[in-house]
Amino acid sequence: MDRYRDAMSRALFYANQARESGDVPVGAVVIDSLGRIVGKGWNTREAAHDPCGHAEINALREAGQTLKRWNLVGCTLVVTLEPCTMCAGAALASRVDRVVFGAWDPKAGAAGSLRDVLRDSRMNHSLEVIPGVLGVEATIQLKAFFQDKRETTAEPTGRGALANEPVAVPPLEAIASWNHPGSLESSDSVSDSDREAKKSEEPTQESATTLLPQMERASQPVSNRAKPENLGLVASKADAVPAGEMTPFVSAPTRAKHAGTPADVRIVAGIPLRSHAYKRAKH
């Protein structure tokens, strides 16, 4: 285990590169059979907007470019955090001899904690796994990062069990304002023509007051919601609909078709709907 401490120290150094760019501090190196670093990498998901930009992936890619081959037999992947499923699969595909890591990741790790992809006998390649090298130092580095994140923002950017930031939920009034064209005035990504086009679509105060009750009801538990008929959303009692009060978008042929409709049938958008009372009487 001691033979990999120097390599892990370098991986911890590269993890700080990720921290400086706002990424979770995870670093990795690939060393050859003589202990020389042939590939290095750190987490670049945020900086490069790359969902696959984990430290292990970046280190394996650089090692392949250095050695001019994809097959990394004889090499060792050293990483500060237990590899996830994606990175464990990449390690298997690269044919490295072993994986050495520092901190365990009990919620996303795939090297012995949550699952053990690296030593699965069903795979076409197996390798050695050495955990816990400078594990205390790696854990402290990660926890310090997330502690700083908790003090500055509530946005989750982490990975695995150590990424447990609270999620900030905006109030309903703020969500309703997102649909208001006026909220776009401060955005540099909206052109003047877009703003002009939005002016004609500006909602009225009445539409805003209608939206909020619906959003409040959607946020309530199902057991606490009022029944639709109590909110006037569904007609619970059928009344006769005079011809003059029918909806204006119902076509004339449809009106003629349903002329003389009995009182227990209501016409909605040209479709005859019988009342609940009529259905109970029939069935």
Residues with catalytic function:
56
List, as one string, the DSSP characters of 81-137: E---HHHHHHHHHHT-SEEEEEE--TTT-TBTTS-BSTT-TTSS---EEE--TTHHH
87 assigned binding-site residue: yes
Q: Alpha-carbon distance 229 to 99, whole Å?
A: 62
What phi-psi label fits residue 116: left (phi over 0), alpha (psi between -120 and 50 degrees) or beta? beta
Residue 221 is classified by DSSP as: -
Residue 208, token pair as written in the block = 């805003």
Q: Is 75 annotated as a binding residue?
A: no
How many whole angstroms separate alpha carbon 259 and alpha carbon 271? 13
Q: Residue 258 annotated as binding?
A: no
Residues 6+ apart with CB under 8 A from 189: none
Q: Which residues are annotated as a binding site for Zn(2+)?
A: 54, 84, 87
Binding residues: 54, 84, 87
